[in-house]
Structure 1
Amino acid sequence: MYSIMIADDEPMIRKGLQKLIQQSGQPVSSLRLAENGEDALQQIREERPDFLFTDIRMPKLDGLELCRHVSELDPSIHIVVVSGYSDFEYAQKCLSYGVKEYVLKPISKKTVEAALIKLTHLHTLQQSQTFVSVQRLEEWVGAMEDAIWSLDHKGLCSTLNKVQLELQVQRLRLNQWIDVLGEFSALLYKRLLGRDVFSFIEKLDLTGVKNEDEVWSRFAASLEQLFAELKVKRRGKLKDPVEEAKQYIETHLAEEVSLEEVAGRIGLNASYFSQLFKQSTQETFVQYRTRRRMEKAKKLLAQPHYRITDISGEVGYADHPHFTKTFKKHTGLLPSEFRNKLGIE
């Protein structure tokens, strides 16, 4: 299935090209329209297409400039320039920007189909090319396996940095990042399971990722989690990390404990722990801690011998006005009003 973008400032040309592409018989998953080069570039930055059909003369950002920007953004996007005979020489300047085909006006069904056949062929060749050799992938996985199995966190970070740098140099597309890192993860788990000591369940989920940074963030976080999981298994402790975090928060409500501190206590990367905690509790770390503080405050307010100013310190608020404001936000009442409702003066 192919994703296609059409950029043309003439509505008739835009709609006509859209119809011809839909009638071509090619499997199209997405067909977006842009009325000028600036609009097209913005849409491409949000979601990159496989193919771009662009007019050469457009307002705001012409086809030549659009081709230049797209080639810098993602050289794997295949571009077709739509131009009239009078613009043909100008359109040829786009050659250095990776233009693969020209469609001359007036546009016909035959020329559009021919262009699409060429593009799909190029796309297939591009997809079939091995952008990371099997040998290199095996080397990366081997280094990561050694680092994780020996609980060498510096080795884990060093291997991650090396892999990220090498992949960035290759300027891969989003789907290629997903393929490479998905394969990396699968091979790593296979090797660790092959040691036949501990059981592991692969947790890398790359569905719905929007860009390369998000792919890398999830991949790196999954390896940090795997590292922490092995560390826990070696200690013989099989506690749920979120439950362990909750217990730690509960016993330190009077202190200003940070997310990073709690993550470190349970052996997880802070970024991954933040995602895991939110997924498990439906609350952020700060929201959960604040809610538990307010619940403890209500219990203490129900005990007459506690002064309100002392209670604020007991639940982690050195600044009494801040405690009062937070309590009212969560309960709709000031601490004194809450106590009065209980019949305590």
Structure 2
Amino acid sequence: MWKIMLVDDEPIIRRGLRQFIESSHYPFSVSAEAKNAGEAIQQLEQQPAHVCFIDINMPNMNGLDLISLLHKQFPELVVVIISGYDNFEYARQAVQLHAFDYVLKPVPKSDLEQLLSRLNQHLQQIFPDQSDTETQKSPTLGPNLSGGDGTLLINKVTEYINDHYQDPELTITRVATLIHMNPTYLSKRMKQETGQSFLDYVTGLRIAKAKEVMDHAPSNIKINSLATKVGYKSQYYFSRVFKNKVGLSPLEYKNRGRP
């Protein structure tokens, strides 16, 4: 069982992560929690972990400085940064500090599922003597988003889209260039094998991710931030697309059922 430590000064974030991690299909358990850097170091000295989820914005010492200390004291510790700040400089420093991933709060559950899958594979490689051979694969996103039973080529394309849906520059021309294929031909292949055009696939995935975020109870994300998070430069365009697909505006969807 892989042990994860959560370092975040917000109890509601730690509680949500713990519940998701321990209910997942992967061999992870939350071995410790800390609300600041001092507690984190103390907890790790008492009870080592394989992975540490760290928030950037914490009192006394920020997450990036904490990572620098942890790498010196616990060199095998795998670090994942979970931040509320979409800041290029933070992301650049995270890369320099060899963080495993840098994800933005609130995180859709399907993205967390994929993160745990990748972490599990990574840990099996660096700790082969501790690997759990009974791990399960991450569930797909559903029949309209998983890539179906298409060829390896289209599966690779849909996998790329799933990993880069937050990029506002994601276009069929860009993806076709990466795989050295004519965009028109790729479009036809996608339609044949997934039943959806490239744009419909990307749009469906982005809207599904947006709904996941808003379905998460503690999430108070603003609509303009949500639009950016799922790959739209314009809040107004995102709202129009969302209402066209869902039948409600993002704000109406977010507030549904509330008094």
Provide TM-score, normalisation by structure 1: 0.35
TM-score by length of 2: 0.47
Task: Please state which structure has a larger fraction of its residues in helix.
Answer: 1
Q: Which fold has the larger relative contact order, with Cα–Cα distance below 8 Å and residues 6 or more apart in sequence? A: 2
Q: Which has the greater radius of gyration?
A: 1
